[in-house]
Each structure stands twice: as C-alpha cells, then as structure tokens.
Structure 1
Amino acid sequence: MSDDTRIRSGARAAIVASIVAGGALALTGCFGSPESSGTPSPTPIPTMAQPMPSGDGTLVIGAVVPLTGADAGFGAASLAGVELAVRDIDEAGGVGGVPVIVLHADAATGAAAVTGLDSRGIDAIVGPNAVALIPATDDAATAAGVPGLSASGDALTADEAFLTRLRSADPTLSETRYGAESYDATVIVALAASLAGDDGRASIARFLPAITSGDIECSSYGACLEVLNSRADIRYTGVTGQLGVSGSEPAPGVLALIGLAL
C-alpha cells in the first residue's frame, strides 16, 4: 500500500470514527442518570458501533447471476456489469489500494451457488437480479453471513454510452437488462468497504445503506472516493440515476439488501 493510500485510508477512518463517536455520545446522553441520583451510570455500549475489522485486505465479490435457464440472457449482462464496475474501481485505485477480485456462480443452481462461493472466501454478493431467484440466494447468504445487493424490480434503462461500455466487457451480449444495476451494486459494495476501511463482511453490511443516503452526490467510484477523503455523507447516484438500497418491497431502482445486511 502506498503512503498516499495510507493517508487517505487514515482520513476516512477518522471520519468514520467521528460518526461512531457522535452516535455514542448521543446514546450516552439518552441513557445518563438524573443528577438527583448522585451515582453515575456506566456508559452504555453504543448499538451503532463499527464492527471490528475482519477483512484480509482484498475485496472479493461473488457475482451470483443466472448463467443457465430462462434468465441466462440478462445473467450475462449482470456479470458484464460487475466486471465493468471492477475495471473502473481498479482504474480508480481499487479498494484500499488493492485490486478487486470477482468470482461468479450460476444463480440457477440455488443455494449451491452461494455456498460454493462462500467456501472460496467472498466478502459480498451481487445478484441474482431475477426476483424468482432472490429467496434462495438470500437464505443461503444469510446462513453463510454474506451481505449483498440485488436488483429487486424491473430493469431500468441506462444510456447508450453506458451500454456501449457494457458491451465492451462482453461483446457477445444479446441483451443488456440488469447490467446497469449490477454495475451500481458492485460500486456500492466497494464504496462500503472503502468507507469502513475494511473488506470484512460485517463492515460491508454495516455501511451498505449509507452509500446512497448522504448529502453529497457523486456518480462514479472515483468521484465518490474523492469525497470520502474529507466527508462520509456521500450519495452515489449510479449510472441509472438516483438509487435506493433497502430491504423493502421490490421496485425499479431499488437494490435489495440480502444476507447479513438484513
């Protein structure tokens, strides 16, 4: 890791620490004893504390997408979206100065796709995007303790410039549905790891919702990373426009939390 990367990582760690400390102070104020008691209460453990770092320094994303069956067409587009996002992430410096690794499995195989990737050490999942395949992926991810994001509604339309870039990742694509959503989900996972300063599963899960809910808009991994050098309240808008990260009902533009993130 370069000195510049260490400095930037340290700055982000300080920002995150200040957020956690702020939450701890607020909780302490809520639970403090009345002055009349004369006996100070112990400081409560803050419920929003940052998880202990558990990553190994390399973010490994598992693309769980349909590669066989009726949904294989947009499964290929989903995988291309993940690979294109990783290319952009790595060109912007990777996560913590380290390139991202992508492994993939066929979501049509059900829980086996997740358990196989879990045994290979993935840190997060992107996919499967097919509504019918989400429950099996979610159940297996929850059992394994792996957080992830999946498109939960109809595919959104990306502009032609993005679709051209998507096809550069896989010139054989016959359709492009969910390529943009998978791209955005991958970027959000990488930004969550960057904000946490850790590629561990619990850290990624903790920060996934924050990436699309801040005040400062940014539309690329590199631009968001620049903001994170001084502020933590980013709102990644993605290639399809404003996105939401939620465990709510399926809807276009909503990336559903799966696994540990729920």
Structure 2
Amino acid sequence: MPRRPTIAAVLLLALALTGCTGAPAAKPSTAPTPVASTSPTGDGTLSIGTLFPMTGANAASGAAQVAGTQIAVRDILADQTTPTRPVQLIHRNSAGDLAAAYADLAARGVDLVLWDATTALPADAEGFIGNTLVVALIDFANGGTPLAADEGFTARLKTADPGLTATAGGAEAYDGVITAALAAVITADDGGVSLKAGWPQVVSGSAVCASWGECVFALMGKQNVDYQGITGRRS
C-alpha cells in the first residue's frame, strides 16, 4: 500500500527580502548570475517525490535516504525568520513495481524526483516522469559511491528513524532536498521547469556555504552560492 505523503511547512525565501540576523557571513562574490527566465509553473508547494529502495537488499539504505530527506526539511524549518510555504515529501519504492511508482508520482504532479543514491538512474526514468526534474542522488556521492555517514550525522539520521541499520545514502538525500529548496529560492518558483533552471546556480557560485542558513544569508546578500553540504563539493 502506498505511503501517505509527508507534508511540512518549509521556508522558501523571496530574494527580495532584506536583512537577516544570526546567520554567518559568506564570502563575498560578484553580482548574481542571472537565471534564465521561465514562466512560473509551481503551485506554491514544493512537491518532492523520492524513489528509494524500501524492500530487498538495499532497503536499509532506502530507510537512511528517507531519514535524510526528513532531517533536511527539519533544518529548513529551524530558520524561523521568514513566512513559510509548504513542502511535500512523497516516498515510493524503487525496488518494487517501478512503473506503478512512476505513474503515481506523475499523477500527483511532483515538481522533482530524487532517485536512489545507490543505483544508476534508469534510462527510461525521465520519459516516465514527463517534464518533472529527475535528480540521481549518486551525483552527490564523492567518487560515485555513497559512504556511511560519520558519527555526528548518523546520530542525526537516527533522530528521524531510530531503527536505522545503515546510513549510506542519507547524506546524499539530505543534500538533494536542500539543493532543491535553494533552487526554488533562486527562481522564486517551485515548478519543475524553474527548479531545473535554478539547480546549477546552487552549486556554481563563489560564495561557499555549507548549510541552508548560510546559503540563504548569501542569497539575500545578492551573492552567487556554492552549496557544499554534508557530502561536500559535488563530484
């Protein structure tokens, strides 16, 4: 039986906002690189579908990835300096009936799909999902292989799921959600077309930031960001 969507309020900042206290300063950079103009396609909710293994040999990693997405949402919520708008996490099993999972996510109109960090993205994935942005989390893995989390992040993952028996993939899933939320900030839209346009701008600037708060602070200062989160620089 499909799991019910997990819905939480997430802070997606308008770039027009000014002023922020308590966030560390990021390294200054040149003026922000313009993002290609696209017509807004979002509905005000950043809807993120996931395809992680929930059964079979890699189920433990799938659980770690679910926990990583939940912690990312929690960290965004921890910044209470701005109004909120919703984000929706819809988890589906990549190790089950994949065609049915594709169809369900497409029917729900998700803006973004995060694919399992432990396996390559199937060649037909984008065709099944349609115009939705599909991100292979293995792209976040340094060296192409997700590693077990360190002690500190393992403890954080277990606050979301105390029963975790593995942690590989959790960091990649965390960084995927943060990157998506930052892309929505940059484009001021949660639609898939806008996320695709804004995604490269999250990791290509000169103002290095390691967290949601640091990156938002830099964006509000009109800086180009380079998000290097739990997994570090994109491989």
TM-score band by shorter chain is 0.7 to 0.9
After TM superposition, the score normalised by the length of structure 1 is 0.71
Aligned residue in 2 for 1:87: 74
Whether the aligned pair in 2 keeps the contact of 1:90 and 1:100 (CA below 8 Å) is: no
Within 1, Cα distance between the matches of 2:89 and 2:173?
A: 13
Deviation at 1:158, TM superposition (A): 3.4
Within 1, Cα distance between the matches of 2:216 and 2:111?
A: 20
Instruction: Report percent identity of matched pairs.
Output: 37
Within 1, Cα distance between the matches of 2:81 and 2:98?
A: 30
Read off the aligned partner of 1:73 and give its amino acid letter.
A
Q: 1:59 aligns with which of 35, 46, 50?
A: 46
Aligned residue in 2 for 1:9: 15
Whether the aligned pair in 2 keeps the contact of 1:195 and 1:232 (CA below 8 Å) is: no
Q: 2:136 aligns with which of 150, 169, 176?
A: 150
Read off the aligned partner of 1:56 and give its amino acid letter.
D
1:228 and 1:18, CA in 2 relative to 1: closer, same or farther beyond 3 A? closer
Deviation at 1:229, TM superposition (A): 0.6
Deviation at 1:98, TM superposition (A): 1.2
Deviation at 1:125, TM superposition (A): 1.2
Bigger-Rg structure (1/2): 1
Q: Which runs of 5+ in 1 are unaligned?
A: 21-47, 244-253, 255-262
Alignment: residue pair count: 207
Deviation at 1:128, TM superposition (A): 1.9
Whether the aligned pair in 2 keeps the contact of 1:125 and 1:146 (CA below 8 Å) is: yes
Within 1, Cα distance between the matches of 2:80 and 2:51?
A: 25
Matched position secondary structure for 2:190: coil
1:18 and 1:226, CA in 2 relative to 1: closer, same or farther beyond 3 A? closer
The correspondence of residues 11-90 of structure 1 with structure 2, limited to 5 A, is: 11=17, 19-20=33-34, 49-90=36-77
Within 2, Cα distance between the matches of 1:6 and 1:62?
A: 18
Deviation at 1:103, TM superposition (A): 0.9
Read off the aligned partner of 1:148 and give its amino acid letter.
V
Q: Which runs of 5+ in 2 are unaligned?
A: 1-10, 19-30, 139-143
1:231 and 1:240, CA in 2 relative to 1: closer, same or farther beyond 3 A? same
The correspondence of residues 152-167 of structure 1 with structure 2, limited to 5 A, is: 152=138, 153-167=144-158
Matched position secondary structure for 1:240: coil
Aligned residue in 2 for 1:115: 103
Bigger relative CO (Cα 8 Å, ≥ 6 apart): 2
The CA RMSD measured in Å over matched residues stands at 2.6
1:70 and 1:146, CA in 2 relative to 1: closer, same or farther beyond 3 A? same
Within 1, Cα distance between the matches of 2:82 and 2:200?
A: 18
**Which stretch of the first structure deviates more once superposed, 85-94 or 174-183?**
85-94
Q: Structure 1 stretches (4+) deviating beyond 4 angstroms?
A: 5-8, 93-96
1:180 and 1:18, CA in 2 relative to 1: closer, same or farther beyond 3 A? closer
Matched position secondary structure for 2:36: coil
Read off the aligned partner of 1:151 and give its amino acid letter.
L
After TM superposition, the score normalised by the length of structure 2 is 0.79
Read off the aligned partner of 1:75 and give its amino acid letter.
G
Do structure 1's residue 129 and structure 2's residue 111 form an aligned pair? no
